Structures are given as structure tokens and as C-alpha cells.
Structure 1
């Protein structure tokens, strides 16, 4: 089954499930759905950063400071966060990511989704999925901040990162 055939819950502006549809249809029709964003840090506090593969349905070849993805039909945000983190990092037995906050991402051009932001620590070596990750590294946060203007980042991840920095400044 291709990723376009994966079934997702369709939600409303209040994040209430109102139906189900194939991922390809959800994207093509701009239907609201759910995503999980997980910020991963290593034992030294560095952030996992990666460049997405060229074959990704959304934001191919762009950089991201989160792992994650869509929440499948009938799946909770928490379940999706752990599944996505383990799959993308190639690490199993990871601690459950900690939920931080949720927001509605809307690019103003017909693409919008509910976004749950998590964090998790990964102290073991990672082996990212080659289908998902073209390049990766754990980078110090000051380097990530420098790269924000140098690299082309996924817009939803950049929005989540900005919100996460504000969340931490307040909390």
C-alpha cells in the first residue's frame, strides 16, 4: 500500500473527527487531518535535524527539525508520535514522547492540519528510514538557529519550532 492509500481521520476546525478518507484524497481536497511533530534530542541536548527525501508527498527535499507525520485513522496523537519517532529514527523501545501543545497549522493556501507537538530524548544510535530521510545529524540548537536562514525548511515544522520556542520562553 502506498502512503497515498493510507486512511486518515478527517477532522473539523475543533479537531473533532467527522469522517475518514485516503491520504491522497485528504491532501488533494485540502481536508483537515491530524499530524504529530516530535522534537528529538540526544544525550548531549542536540536536536535531530534531517532533510526529507525527494519522493515525499509533502515538502520533498526540505529540512526539518522534527520527526513525525500523519495520525492514522483511529490512532491517537500519542500513539502516532511514538510510532512515527521510532519508524523515522529506526529506534525501537523509545520512551513515550511527551506532549507539549497542539495548534492548527494553516498555510493560507488550502493546506491545514492539527499539529500536536512532542519532545523525546534518544540516547541510542539512530538509523533513519531511507525512504523518509535523505540526510540527518544531531545539531546544537545555536547551529539550528543559524541554519534557519540558510536552509529551506518545511513550513509547518518551522511554524511548530517557532511556537515551541515561544512555549518554552513562557513555560
Structure 2
């Protein structure tokens, strides 16, 4: 089964499930769904940053300060956060990511999803998926703030980062 065939829950403005559809259709039709964002810090508190591969369905080749992805049909946010983080980092035994908040991402152009944001610390080695990650590194917050002005970042990750940094009040 390809990523485009994965079944996702379709949700309303209150994050209530109203249907299901394959990921490819969800993206093509701009249907609201669910996603998780996991901020990964190493033992020194640096943040795992990566550049997405050019084959990604959404935001190919852009930088991201979160690992994560879509929540599968019937899957909880917590389970999706653990699964996605372990898959993208290429690790087993990651501590359960800690939920921080949830917000509705909407780019105003037909891309909208409920976004649950988490944080986890991992002091071990990582072996990111080649299908997902073209480059990675652990950056201190000062360096990351500089890179925010230099690199092209995924817009939903950037929106989540601004909320993590306390720039956008009112999140649940």
C-alpha cells in the first residue's frame, strides 16, 4: 500500500470524525484531517531538524523542526506521535512523547488539519528513514532561530514552532 492509499479520518472544525478517505484524496480535495508534530531534543537540549525528501506528498524538500505525520483512521494522537517519531528517527524504545497543545492549522489556501504538538528527549543515536529525511542535524535554539531566516521551512511546522515559542496565544 502506498502512502496515498493510507486511510485517514476526516474531521470537522471541532476535531470530530465525520468520515474517512485515502490520504491522496484527502490532500487533493483539501479535506480536514489530523496530524502530529513531535519536537525531538537530544541529551544537550538541541533540536532535531531535517530536510524532507523531494518525494514527500506535502512540502517536499523543505526543512522541519518536527518529526511526525498524519494520524491514521481510528488511531489516537498519542499513538501516532509515538509511531511517527520512532519511524522517522529510526529508533526503537523512544519515551512516550509528552503532549504540549493542539491547534487547527489552516493556510487559507485549502490545507487544514488539526495538529497535536508533542515533545520528547532522546539521547541515543538516530537513523532517519531515507524515504523521509534527506538531511538532518541537531541545532541549538540560537542556531535554529538564525536558520529560520535562511532556510525554507514547512509552513505548518513553522506555525507550530511559533506556538511552542509562545508567539501565538490561545491554543488548546
Smaller-chain TM-score bracket: over 0.9
> Deviation above 6 Å: which 4+ runs of structure 1?
167-170
Q: Tell me the equivalent position of 1:69.
A: 69
TM-score norm. by structure 2 comes to 0.97
> 1:27-66 maps to which residues of 2 (within 5 A)?
27-66=27-66
Q: Tell me the distance in 2 between the aligned counterparts of 1:168 and 1:151.
A: 22
Q: What residue ranges of structure 2 are gaps of 5+ in the alignment?
A: none
Q: Tell me the equivalent position of 1:2.
A: 2
Offset at residue 48 of structure 1 (A): 0.1
Q: Tell me the distance in 1 between the aligned counterparts of 2:3 and 2:132.
A: 11
Q: Tell me the distance in 1 between the aligned counterparts of 2:35 and 2:155.
A: 14
Q: Tell me the distance in 1 between the aligned counterparts of 2:167 and 2:59.
A: 25
TM-score norm. by structure 1 comes to 0.97
> 1:5-154 maps to which residues of 2 (within 5 A)?
5-154=5-154
- RMSD over equivalenced CA pairs, Å: 1.5
Q: What residue ranges of structure 1 are gaps of 5+ in the alignment?
A: none
Q: Tell me the distance in 1 between the aligned counterparts of 2:141 and 2:125.
A: 19
For residues 125-161 of structure 1, what are the alpha-carbon distances to aligned partners after superposition, in whole Å with 9 as ceiling and x for unaligned?
0000000000000111100000001000000000000
